[in-house]
Amino acid sequence: MTRPEPLEVRVGVLGLGRIGRMHANLLGTGIPGARLAAVADADPDALEAVTDRFPVPGADDPSRLLARSDIDAVAICTPTSTHVDLIVAAAEAGKAILCEKPVSLDLEATDQAVAAAERAGVILQVGFNRRFDPGHATVAGAVANGEIGAPELVRISSRDPTPPPIDYLASSGGIFLDQTIHDLDMARFVTGSEVERLTAVGTVRVDPAIRDIGDYDTVAVTLQHANGCITQIDNSRRAVYGYDQRVEVLGSAGMAFSDNQAVHGAVVRTDAGGRVAPLPWFFLERYMPSYRRQWEAFLSAYRGENTVAVGGEDARAALVLALAAAESVRTGHPVGIPAIPADETSSTA
Amino acid sequence: MTRPEPLEVRVGVLGLGRIGRMHANLLGTGIPGARLAAVADADPDALEAVTDRFPVPGADDPSRLLARSDIDAVAICTPTSTHVDLIVAAAEAGKAILCEKPVSLDLEATDQAVAAAERAGVILQVGFNRRFDPGHATVAGAVANGEIGAPELVRISSRDPTPPPIDYLASSGGIFLDQTIHDLDMARFVTGSEVERLTAVGTVRVDPAIRDIGDYDTVAVTLQHANGCITQIDNSRRAVYGYDQRVEVLGSAGMAFSDNQAVHGAVVRTDAGGRVAPLPWFFLERYMPSYRRQWEAFLSAYRGENTVAVGGEDARAALVLALAAAESVRTGHPVGIPAIPADETSSTA
Amino acid sequence: MTRPEPLEVRVGVLGLGRIGRMHANLLGTGIPGARLAAVADADPDALEAVTDRFPVPGADDPSRLLARSDIDAVAICTPTSTHVDLIVAAAEAGKAILCEKPVSLDLEATDQAVAAAERAGVILQVGFNRRFDPGHATVAGAVANGEIGAPELVRISSRDPTPPPIDYLASSGGIFLDQTIHDLDMARFVTGSEVERLTAVGTVRVDPAIRDIGDYDTVAVTLQHANGCITQIDNSRRAVYGYDQRVEVLGSAGMAFSDNQAVHGAVVRTDAGGRVAPLPWFFLERYMPSYRRQWEAFLSAYRGENTVAVGGEDARAALVLALAAAESVRTGHPVGIPAIPADETSSTA
Amino acid sequence: MTRPEPLEVRVGVLGLGRIGRMHANLLGTGIPGARLAAVADADPDALEAVTDRFPVPGADDPSRLLARSDIDAVAICTPTSTHVDLIVAAAEAGKAILCEKPVSLDLEATDQAVAAAERAGVILQVGFNRRFDPGHATVAGAVANGEIGAPELVRISSRDPTPPPIDYLASSGGIFLDQTIHDLDMARFVTGSEVERLTAVGTVRVDPAIRDIGDYDTVAVTLQHANGCITQIDNSRRAVYGYDQRVEVLGSAGMAFSDNQAVHGAVVRTDAGGRVAPLPWFFLERYMPSYRRQWEAFLSAYRGENTVAVGGEDARAALVLALAAAESVRTGHPVGIPAIPADETSSTA
């Protein structure tokens, strides 16, 4: 009955797991210029939980949603293994696409997905949402606008409060493709420079079951960028004090640091010292502003006001680095990254 | 068509201005145990903006919403002058009530509203949302649990970024009833003690039009509590750097301080010094967690798990203090506050 | 044997209690342009403790030190009751004078001391050292250079960790003359405006013995300045969490806040929250940079590069306010401050 | 004439450059239990600048100072190339020794010095002063007392504001032996675990002259500890925003972070955002508390209350790691560290 206003982009959400429900809620209430227009999930309970709250049609299959003519764009929030097929199908249906990361665990498949979107002339934005975090974006901006000069050293910490279920980990592609990939993208983003050489070390400290599946839970990666900058990344699957997310750049003319913020600003001081609030527990608390701003960037690209902020080539580049990190930790030695033609790199501007 | 699950309290929102829309959005998506069930507003555009997003009936008159049997509770978000009549009507309709502050600018009318809710045996919670801010609540908790000992000095700063339109101010009851009233409630909340004596000074620094309507834009109030504690409040209608909201208590065994948090945690340092992020611009950015937790407290009282956190007597007590502040600034002298029987005071426990 | 270089001001320290020893140590090692040249104290042990460390003559009587021709300036660090006589004597001996605060508990005596220094044409700087604290000076500077516009609200907190011995308090002139006087000076300093009206409230929370000597240990003072600004001061004799010293100004174009700093920057976070370092315990830890910069200002005035930063009129004005605060708390009513001719006020420029 | 009290350790300072003068000033005024007793420097001006301030004998040659019977201990603050000879001479003279880092650029020479002190039965403490920084020590303490569980990831940033003169660098042994060595020691200190494998990358970003002498100015080092912990160190010779010194440990039960502190706590907020104070400019501002506490630890060891906090084996272990880092950056590959017998490692307890 309700007709979307002409200026609102009608978005369908594919997959209503944790991240899909988050996108549905955002689109359902708070993103100027977009509206939630349909949802799809094979699980009827998941479907009803959303369609009960919002007056939108639900489909038990993504293809039914993609077939609708009253949908302009889709958010792909299904498991990673389905991403490429859905990108291809959505592109062929002429829908603009926001796809959660990673696009694929496979380089060739990633290339197919990117090519499909290009062929169809539709937007393909990859869900590296952290680029849109106001703090991290301030760091990237301070490099891009020259305020801190040429980037020389980067430090990125990214630690989850607690490891996901071992079943999830077993199909995740490993810590570098599942967790570090965000930080590899961040390193490219804040430096504006590709990586030429990478060294990774890793260990298992959190859960022996992680070793049993051939993965790591505690890793450190060193990147050497084409512009001479050095990036250090550390990741852990366990930070009992909360979700720890920091990015900093030392430049020739200054430094920029995106620090954590506690959940509130109170301090209690006694003769025993001071106590302060904990960090946010996990990404939905921490990164909500980034998801909001990610949609704003998507809409801006949809309207032709800007190019896509994080495109298929960014997905590819981060995947190349994640695969290289896995190789480095396996061999115990540095890994060179094949040059990527400059015209394919994204810009931080 | 949709039937609320048995454990969900069905809430109708009366008035869809800025604060009413905020409550509708919260209830529409994010409050476990509650659901948005109906909305009312005389303005058809305001109505449609909400009913277009959420599958709920809209009424052009509050009485139509109150007449519905599928509504358990209401949020009264209409102009202050209508609060008392709506509280009385909602109480008679057997609805639980969350009413935005102030209940009324008039003491007798406030008493009538409180009496009506008591007579009907319905919950009446007053919208002093700041009590539910996680930072401010930490301060109150540090007093209530004895961690910082007996409260001795309280400082409360509450500064709006920019004054509201002069038309709004002219019908607001003046700065003490409109703005300071939150802080007067906060002083009672964090100290757990009634006020016996009050001194206020005020001036006009922001806009001469505020003087023309007999109001102030810059005020300082000193409270002397029954337990010997002294509270200092300062308010301004202008803080060009953002919404400044701080509460602190010095106690015999420590201090607790709820400080502002910037909108993000980034710092940029150059040889010219460091620059940090601004404060949130205004209350919807700053106090969203408090609105969420306010609903949680309301639902807890509705389910009988707790008494009402902020009741009619709290509305009355804050109003008494606000009226006394207006008198003090007019006469230039301290004002004694008549004793309020102890059994009528709220608890911070 | 050693001859002071021509550019070094030779300073004698009168009184080697806690503050006098601090000045002797500073002058003995670290103030470019000054040198410790002599010390005086009636207690031979106090004398030896200094002359044992530094190659300077010690006198058991201030007059012997004042009689020396190789002394250019003196720091008066003896008990308050001796200040005026020593200022007069030092002035007559032609010595430049830095006198610890307060100059006197008596207004007339203060005037005599100031007149003596003027008559002799010697510098008289009063030890309101907090003006030279880098943080507080940043606040004053942000007002003076217009960065935050016209000052509208000032908050000053000044809390000692623990009360001094009751004997000290009994001869201190009371909390307003002993402790608040620093904050009254600070209010004049950061606003650049005299006070016209003052209201003080006070109570005894820390030690009943303080009530027995007719004094208070917990006070709040509200100042109304000639320029329309309102200042709120709070003081306590007990802050078990450390020395709490904060100054802030809200202006028409911004705000400036000098916050406490912890003794170090470490935080420890566990699943129980975060813990941070305590504040400095007391003034010697907290204000050492201010004492250093106070000497730099003194030397600058001595060399004629600047006028005296904190002169006799500042001592007088703060004393007037402290006496008025004592009167206000006694009568329970506001006290008007007689106008002080504009040409006698100090500048914050 | 003055005789040191029996409980004061009489310290002679050898070398009166920047760091030697600092130690002389500290000992001359502020270290309970110690006193400055003699100084030595070949430069008569440097000597006089100290003997003019303090009543202590000056020697133009270290051997003359070492020959004095009224000296219990020495601080060796001369150029690195003289350290070993002076340690041997001081040990043979029976003096307790505090030697600035590094003991030597050569492993064998370091061993000789350590052996000489052991043979003579004198204390040899190495000037890794940062261990005594209250913030860094809090981090180490949170590991040592189990508060944050087993250490898993360590991050250490250490950046100088501006490079030293190229002449200094040319004889410094290179950035790893001159600057990183502090951080290599810190990694051992906070983890309480030896390093088994190390990878270093380095580049020249600050000054091409540094490349010309075969050195680096921007380096990143990754350590793999025997206990499974991974440490990331970054160093730069240029941080235009001030001296950046941070240490953090992620443990299985929490994290501990020693952050920088600004030079004061003031913030100025306008509609353009907030500005905060700069960091301390360099080590003498930043690390003064650590130098003080280093002496306290030395005196405690001298009195037999504690073992030496940072001994010869610590100097050796840090040197081994610095040499390995230089090798890794040269070869581009990880370097294994030969095992060091457990009984020779220092304890963080």
C-alpha–C-alpha distance, residues C207 and C165, integer Å: 11
Interface predicted TM-score (ipTM) of this complex, two decimals = 0.93
Picking from C205, C224, C253, the nearest residue to B252 by CB comes out as C205
Topology (CATH level 3) of domain B9-122: Rossmann fold (3.40.50)
Q: Which chains touch C (3 or more CB pairs under 8 A)?
A: A, B, D
CB contact B300 to C (< 8 Å): no
Which residue of B138, B193, B205, B252 is the best one to mutate when testing the C interface, meaning the one whose CB has the most C CBs within 10 A?
A: B205
Answer for the pair A36, A27: CB distance below 8 angstroms, yes or no. yes
Which residues in chain B land under pLDDT 50?
1-6, 341-349
The chain B residue lying nearest D278, using CA atoms, is B273
C-alpha–C-alpha distance, residues A47 and A70, integer Å: 19
Picking from C269, C271, C275, the nearest residue to A274 by CB comes out as C275
Using the beta-carbon criterion (under 8 Å), do C153 and B236 form an inter-chain contact? yes
Using the beta-carbon criterion (under 8 Å), do B234 and C234 form an inter-chain contact? no
CB contact C135 to A (< 8 Å): no
Q: Which chains touch A (3 or more CB pairs under 8 A)?
A: B, C, D
Using the beta-carbon criterion (under 8 Å), do A268 and B254 form an inter-chain contact? yes
Answer for the pair A205, D150: CB distance below 8 angstroms, yes or no. yes
All CATH 3.40.50.720 domain ranges of chain C, comma separated, are 9-122
Using the beta-carbon criterion (under 8 Å), do B268 and A260 form an inter-chain contact? no
Three-class DSSP category at C342: helix
pLDDT at position A339: 61
Residues in chain D with CB shorter than 8 Å from the CB of A273 are none
Using the beta-carbon criterion (under 8 Å), do C275 and A278 form an inter-chain contact? no
Answer for the pair A333, D333: CB distance below 8 angstroms, yes or no. yes
Query: pLDDT band at A3, cuts 50/70/90?
Result: very low
Using the beta-carbon criterion (under 8 Å), do A274 and C269 form an inter-chain contact? no
C-alpha–C-alpha distance, residues C139 and C249, integer Å: 7
Residues in chain B with CB shorter than 8 Å from the CB of D240 are 270-271
pLDDT at position C339: 61
Q: Which of A87-96, A273-282, B91-100, D336-345 has the lowest mean pLDDT?
A: D336-345
Using the beta-carbon criterion (under 8 Å), do B260 and A265 form an inter-chain contact? yes
All CATH 3.30.360.10 domain ranges of chain D, comma separated, are 130-344
CB contact C278 to D (< 8 Å): no
CB contact C240 to A (< 8 Å): yes
CA distance, residue C266 to nearest chain A CA (Å): 11
In single-letter form, the type of residue at position A67 comes to A
Picking from A241, A242, A271, the nearest residue to C241 by CB comes out as A271
Region A298-326: what's the mean pLDDT?
Answer: 96
Residues in chain B with CB shorter than 8 Å from the CB of C252 are 205-206, 238, 240
Using the beta-carbon criterion (under 8 Å), do A275 and C271 form an inter-chain contact? no
Higher-confidence residue: A185 or A282?
A185
Of B337, B317, B330, give the one whose Cα is nearest residue B201.
B330
The pLDDT tens digits of the residues spanning C59-87 come to: 999 999 999 999 999 999 999 999 999 99
Asked if pLDDT for residue A2 goes beyond 70, the answer is no
Asked if pLDDT for residue C349 goes beyond 70, the answer is no
CA distance, residue B254 to nearest chain A CA (Å): 4
Q: Does the B131-344 domain belong in CATH 3.30.420.590?
A: no
Would residue C15 be called left, alpha or beta, if left means φ above 0 and alpha means ψ between -120 and 50 degrees? left
CB contact C255 to D (< 8 Å): yes
Asked if pLDDT for residue A227 goes beyond 50, the answer is yes
CA distance, residue B277 to nearest chain C CA (Å): 14
pLDDT at position A30: 76
C-alpha–C-alpha distance, residues A213 and D77, integer Å: 54
Q: Which chains touch D (3 or more CB pairs under 8 A)?
A: A, B, C
Picking from B218, B228, B334, the nearest residue to C230 by CB comes out as B218
Using the beta-carbon criterion (under 8 Å), do C135 and D53 form an inter-chain contact? no
CA A217 from chain centre, in angstroms, equals: 19
CB contact D261 to B (< 8 Å): no
All CATH 3.30.360.10 domain ranges of chain B, comma separated, are 131-344
Q: Does the C130-286+311-344 domain belong in CATH 3.30.360.10?
A: yes
CA distance, residue A129 to nearest chain D CA (Å): 25
Which residues face A233 on adjacent strands? A156, A221
Angle at the Cα of B320 from the Cα atoms of B317 and B326, rounded to 5 degrees: 145
Picking from D134, D136, D148, the nearest residue to C263 by CB comes out as D134
Using the beta-carbon criterion (under 8 Å), do D239 and A250 form an inter-chain contact? yes
Q: pTM, whole model, 2 decimals?
A: 0.94
The CATH label, of 3.40.640.10, 3.90.1150.10, 3.30.360.10, 3.40.1160.10, for the domain at A130-344 is: 3.30.360.10
C-alpha–C-alpha distance, residues D149 and D249, integer Å: 10
CA distance, residue B20 to nearest chain A CA (Å): 14
C-alpha–C-alpha distance, residues B157 and B248, integer Å: 9
Which residues face C98 on adjacent strands? C75, C125
Using the beta-carbon criterion (under 8 Å), do B139 and A266 form an inter-chain contact? yes
Residues in chain C with CB shorter than 8 Å from the CB of D30 are 25
All CATH 3.30.360.10 domain ranges of chain C, comma separated, are 130-286+311-344
The pLDDT tens digits of the residues spanning A101-152 come to: 999 999 999 999 999 999 999 999 999 999 999 999 999 999 999 999 999 9
Asked if pLDDT for residue C272 goes beyond 70, the answer is yes
Region C271-296: what's the mean pLDDT?
Answer: 94
Which residues in chain D land under pLDDT 50?
1-6, 341-349
The chain C residue lying nearest B238, using CA atoms, is C252
pLDDT at position C61: 96
User: In the 3-class helix/strand/coil scheme, how is chain B assigned residue by residue?
Assistant: CCCCCCCCEEEEEECCCHHHHHHHHHHHHCCCCEEEEEEECCCHHHHHHHHCCCCCCEECCHHHHHCCCCCCEEEECCCHHHHHHHHHHHHHCCCEEEECCCCCCCHHHHHHHHHHHHHHCCCEEECCHHHHCHHHHHHHHHHHCCCCCCEEEEEEEEECCCCCCHHHHHCCCCHHHHHHHHHHHHHHHHHCCCEEEEEEEEECCCCHHHHHCCCCCEEEEEEEECCCCEEEEEEECCCCCCCEEEEEEEECCEEEEECCCCCCCEEEEECCEEEECCCCCCHHHHCHHHHHHHHHHHHHHHCCCCCCCCCHHHHHHHHHHHHHHHHHHHHCCCEECCCCCHHHCCCCC
Region C212-227: what's the mean pLDDT?
Answer: 98
